[in-house]
Amino acid sequence: MKTIELLPLAYALDALEPAISRKTMDLHYNHHLKGYIDKTNILLEKAINHDSLALNSTLEDLIKSLGPAAQLGYENWNLYNQAAQVWNHYFYFNGLRSSSKNNQPRGILLQQIVEKYKSFEGFKKEFSQYAKDLFGSGYTWLRKDLKIVNTVNAINPLTFGQVPILCIDNWEHSYYLDVFNKRSNYIDAIWSVINWNKIEERFNR
């Protein structure tokens, strides 16, 4: 597996304001994500010397293969955690865009969300409640089957063979500089910066 690199963001650090500030994006992207990348690369170098899987794996391969065993406390638990955090963060950041009013999906995705949740506002309310109810650190996901799920720590739906299309990062470093411990404020604000074009692309893939 090639060395993982910190890739450029598709938008400026201040593009998500006022929902997410430049200072939060700088800390989150350039420091937290970079830290996960550095640790993953160190662990990968060790794994390649002992595990043939790591030689030809993608980040998704590692998560899918190491996840179930890692949860049982096997030796690659740390590699799974770091690699999953890298994947989770890229997935999260790539699902955001500059702020837009009345931001929502279109077409078949919107139609199916409305069929399942009665309305788009109903979907947002239920998703937001999942995110607000999550205990501790983790993520709230929308899967391709349009089911909302929470995961703790670095765990993501790929671990269970599921396909995510949207996630909100609920770790404190995603919002603490902006709203302190008021996670609900961050969750309410983030809907204006969801990149529904990207979410639709994932849904239709």
Residue 124 Cα distances to 114, 117, 137, 156, angstroms: 11, 9, 20, 20
SS3 77: helix
How would you class 124 by CB atoms within 10 Å of its CB: exposed for 0-12, middle for 13-18, buried for 19 or more?
middle
Q: What's the confidence (pLDDT) of residue 14?
A: 97
CATH of domain 22-94: 1.10.287
pLDDT of residue 2: 79
Cα 170 to its chain centre, rounded Å, is: 9
- Do 22-94 and 107-204 show the same overall fold? no
| Answer CATH for 107-204 from 2.30.42.10, 3.40.50.300, 3.55.40.20, 3.30.9.100 | 3.55.40.20
- Give me the tens of pLDDT residue by residue for the chain, a chain 205 residues long: 778 999 999 999 999 999 999 999 999 999 999 999 999 999 888 877 666 555 667 899 888 888 766 565 556 788 899 999 999 999 999 999 998 888 999 999 999 999 999 999 999 999 999 999 999 999 999 999 999 999 999 999 999 999 999 999 999 999 999 999 999 999 999 999 999 999 999 999 9
- What whole-number distance in Å separates Cα of residue 85 and Cα of residue 40? 9
Under a CB-based contact definition with an 8 Å cutoff, are residues 199 and 109 in contact? Answer: yes
Name the residue ranges covered by the structural domains of the chain: 22-94, 107-204
| pLDDT of 50 | 60
pTM of the shown model: 0.94
Work out the widest C-alpha separation in the chain, in whole angstroms: 52
Question: DSSP characters for 139-199?
Answer: EEEEETTS-EEEEETT--GGGGT--EEEEEE-SGGGTHHHHTT-HHHHHHHHGGGB-HHHH
